[in-house]
Structure formats: C-alpha cells, structure tokens
Amino acid sequence: MNIVLAASEAFPFCKTGGLADVVGALCQQFASRKGNKVLLFLPHYRNIVRVSSLKVVPGVYLVPIGDKIEQVSLSYINWGNVLVFFVGNRKYFDRPELYRTRTGEFADNDERFILFSRAVLEGCKFIGFRPDLIHCHDWQTGLIPAYLKTVYKLDAFYTRTRSLYTIHNIAYQGHYPYSTFRKAGFHPVDYTPEKFEYYGGISFLKSGIVFADNINTVSPNYAREVQRDKSMGFGLEGLLRARSNHFCGIVNGIDTEIWDPELDPVLPLGYDTVEVVQGKAAAKQALQKQCKLADDPKKPLIGIVSRLDYQKGLDLVVNIVEKYKNRAQFVILGTGDPMLEKAFQSLARNNAGHVSYHGRLDEELAHRIYAGADIFLMPSRFEPCGLSQLIAMKYGTLPVVSRVGGLVDTVKGYDGANEETATGFFIEPFNEKGLCQTLDKVFKTFEDKKLWLRLIRNAMRQDLSWDKSARTYLELYRKTIA
C-alpha cells in the first residue's frame, strides 16, 4: 500500500502531547511491514528537531487561501523506512510554538491548517506519489477528507485514494466562522448541516467525520462514550451515531523501544519483572534526590506527568495534596493552565521535601518519574485513550485512574479479589471525596509488599506494544481502500 499520514505533530520531530507519540509510532509500525510505502507530512515549524540531514525538493508550488495564493516548499528526511516531508511556509509555520502563545491560540490557525491540508494534497502531486490511503489525525487535518470528496473529486490523480480519519480528542474541534469556509475554497452549495455547516461556522473536526471514508478513535470505550454521552461527544454524538457503521475504536500502544525499563539509559539501574524491586528502589532514590524530596523508601511516591488542563482533573489533586503531604510524596511534571501551574508552584514552594513541581517539557525527567514513582495518578474527567497509564504500567508504577475512555480498556482495577490480574486502581466515585477514599485504599495496599509486588508484575507483563493495534489499523486500511 502507498500510505500517507498527515498530522500536525509527530515524535521525535515536534510534540505537544500524546498525538505526536501515536503518529510517530504508527509510521514506523506500518513502514516495517512488507509491501507498504509510508510518507509522513508535517508542518515545518521553527522548532523541528532531528533534521540535520534535511533535503530540499527543488521548486515550490502554490496553495490558495481565500483570495490569496501562498507559496509552499517541501523538504524531507529519511527516517528509517519512512519518508518525512515538511511543509514549508515561513509566514504560517516559522513561530516559536506549534499552536499558541501563552495568551491563547494563534488567530490565524484556520489559515495555517487550510494551507497545510491543501499542501499535503498538492504536495503528493508535486512529488508524484499517488496514495492508496491518506490517514488524517485530529482537527488540524479534518479538511483533507473533505477536499478529496469535493474540490479534488474529479482529479484523476486521486481517483483511487481513500481517507481514514482518527479522532484523538473530540474536545478539540477547530471551530471557525463562515469566513473560514470561504477561505478554504469550498463551494457554497456544500454549506449545509449535512456537510460543512456547524453552528453558523465550520468545524474542521466535523468536516473530517462527514467526509472521511472511515473514522476511528483511540479506544473502543471512548468510541462508545462519544456516541452516547453528550458530555463526551461535545455536540458531535449524533453525527457519530449516524456514521457508526464507519466508526470504531482502536486502542493505542506505546513504543517499547523508547519505553523499556530494562534498557532505559536515564535510569540508574535497568530492571525487568525479576529485578523490579531493586530497580525501582534505585530509581525512586534517584528521583527523590533530583527533586529534593526526603530520602524515604517507605513513603509512597505519587507521580504525575500530564498536560495541566481541566480535562485531566488535576484541580482535584491541588485540593488534596495538603491532606496527604505527610503520608506521601508528590512529583508533578507538566505545563498548561496558568492557574494550575501557579497552584502547583505554590504547593511545591510551601511543602519543600514533600512536593516537587516542574513546569516544563522534560523527556528525561518523565522517564525517571515513570520509573521512580510507586503510584501514577491520572484523575481524568475524560480520556480518549491515554499513554501515560500504559508507560507507567510498563515501568511497574501502578496507575490510579478514572473509569473513563481508554483507561477502562487498558487498566484492570484491583477490587480486593483479583490480585492475579489487577494492574491498577479506579477512582470511585469521581469527585474529591472519591479520590481520597481511593488513595486511602491504595496506601493500605502499598503496605502489603507481597501483594503490591504481585500487582506490579501483573502490570509489567502486559503486552503494551503497538504490534496488535498496528495490525488492526492495517486491516482497517485494507477495508477502507476496498
């Protein structure tokens, strides 16, 4: 198959969250299988990394945005068996951040991703690569399926091309006014509720759902939630139900070459399920030292690696840290909501030795937290799939999670009678009181070292790799093309 993946970010080139990890891993999975030729298209942001051997495609091509014509260049790099193409336009992509400043989103994000979507389609023609399938990710690429079914409908180059659209988080929809619809170059006859119209404007996400040949999201349970629950579907639950025959959930995996406690170079001592006690003890001591926490092996260490956002439920954590600071230690890594950042900064400042907060993106520290923590706290209000709980389990750190989305598909909650299979804990009920009740139970379980070790080994022995999910994606690719 000739496969194109189009996304606004992909690890290791550019990243703000889990979307990048998923796209990067899928590219490598698909390219490693015989018979597939895989291209990845990304915007050429200012902070693109690992492109020292970047090659330039000679020439430029033109992309219309409203009554303007923009020049686009392509450069590329061979990343294993994947060809990664960077869509270049300094006006739209030469900026210090990917999507926003500290004060909010870029005002022209609609134009930026109109340009990117058209540039992917024109770029394939520019280099002469005719895709069997274009796999689009999240709202930033939602116009690509729409272009294939409208503007490019009669283009002989794309006669056999099909599209798959993956929703990583339905809360982010790319909702813009009617003027954006006109900028995108669609015909007014298509501006109907059944197609583009969305509350008097246009939603890039809705466009992808309407026009893609097949749609999926990143876990089976999340696929059910966004169809039946208004609070989860964010206004698109009816449309998804209408397209349910073309909609499914495929759970994410993790890159087990990057996330491997036995071979992780940033850890003081590698470990597997046999050596996990010594390995995690060394990792915990190193993490406590780095984060200036008391060297106390008996006190449970709670780790959080997360975007600071209302979705993640971390406002509940802010409220309970003071209550538990003498019973547990906390290490928090992440940026996002300025109010949450200030709250965690204050907690760390006022509880030195008990709470450590790091307001930055730091891959090495993330690895150390996943390994050195005893408990990984993830009280999400909704969670399409989540990667953090998967990584935590791989490193033998037991996740304490909400019973939502992909967390239900990936964590087996301990209930007192399933110690042979349990891999973590569910927060029930989901509120501050429920979180406290759950942590009390977790701390009690932590005191039973034999039981705790059994749960750790249960978690670490799971197959959390991309292999099974990648096979499922390829089956969906074949179905979509057929």
Q: What is the DSSP string of 91-137?
A: HHH-SSSSSEETTEE-TTHHHHHHHHHHHHHHHHHHHT---SEEEEE
249 and 377: one domain? no
369 and 220: one domain? no
Give 141's DSSP letter.
Answer: G
Q: Is residue 271 part of a domain?
A: no
473 and 363: one domain? no
User: What is the pLDDT confidence band of residue 51, given thresholds at 50, 70 and 90?
Assistant: low
Task: Look at the chain and report how many structural domains it folds into.
Answer: 2
- The token pair that represents 205 in the structure block: 């996400």
Q: Is the pLDDT of residue 23 over 80?
A: yes
Q: What is the pLDDT of residue 297?
A: 93
Gap between the terminal Cα atoms of the chain: 12
Q: What percent of the chain has pLDDT over 70?
A: 99
User: What is the pLDDT confidence band of residue 379, given thresholds at 50, 70 and 90?
Assistant: very high
Average pLDDT of span 274-285: 98
Q: What is the pLDDT of residue 102?
A: 76
Q: What is the pLDDT of residue 53?
A: 82
Q: Is the pLDDT of residue 88 over 90?
A: yes
Which position has the higher pLDDT, 465 or 102? Answer: 465
Q: How many CB atoms lie within 10 A of CB 179?
A: 12
Q: Is the pLDDT of residue 50 over 70?
A: no
User: What is the pLDDT confidence band of residue 323, given thresholds at 50, 70 and 90?
Assistant: very high
Q: For 196-215, how does the pLDDT look when each residue is reduced to its tens digit (9 = 90+)?
A: 999 999 999 999 999 999 99
67 and 114: one domain? yes
Give 4's DSSP letter.
Answer: E
Q: What is the pLDDT of residue 227?
A: 98
Q: Residue 357's domain is classified under what CATH number?
A: 3.40.50.2000
248 and 301: one domain? no
171 and 215: one domain? yes
Our measurement of the distance from residue 306's CA atom to the centroid of its chain's CA atoms, rounded to an integer in Å, reads 11
Q: Is residue 427 part of a domain?
A: yes
302 and 383: one domain? yes
Q: What is the pLDDT of residue 48?
A: 84
Distances (CA, A) of 24 to 21, 32, 52, 364: 5, 13, 18, 18
Q: Is residue 268 part of a domain?
A: no
Q: What is the pLDDT of residue 187?
A: 96
Q: For 106-118, how does the pLDDT look when each residue is reduced to its tens digit (9 = 90+)?
A: 999 999 999 999 9
User: What is the pLDDT confidence band of residue 47, given thresholds at 50, 70 and 90?
Assistant: confident
Q: Is residue 121 part of a domain?
A: yes
Q: What is the pLDDT of residue 104?
A: 86
237 and 309: one domain? no
297 and 426: one domain? yes
Q: How many CB atoms lie within 10 A of CB 415?
A: 11
How high is the mean pLDDT of the chain?
A: 96
* Residue ranges of E strands in 295-417: 301-305, 329-333, 355-358, 375-378, 398-402
What b/e sequence results for 81-118 when a residue is b if at least 16 CB atoms lie within 10 Å of its CB, and e otherwise? ebbbbbbbbeebbebeebbeeeeeeeeebbbbbbbbbb
What CA–CA distance (Å, rounded) separates 178 from 459?
49
169 and 315: one domain? no
CA angle centred on 276, ends 274 and 282, rounded to 5°: 140
H or E segment and range at residue 22:
helix 18-31
89 and 205: one domain? yes
Residue ranges making up the domain that contains 406: 276-460
**pTM score, whole prediction:** 0.93
Q: Is residue 400 part of a domain?
A: yes
User: What is the pLDDT confidence band of residue 166, given thresholds at 50, 70 and 90?
Assistant: very high
Q: Is residue 262 part of a domain?
A: no
Q: What is the pLDDT of residue 36?
A: 96
245 and 302: one domain? no
Q: Is the pLDDT of residue 49 over 70?
A: no
User: What is the pLDDT confidence band of residue 17, given thresholds at 50, 70 and 90?
Assistant: confident
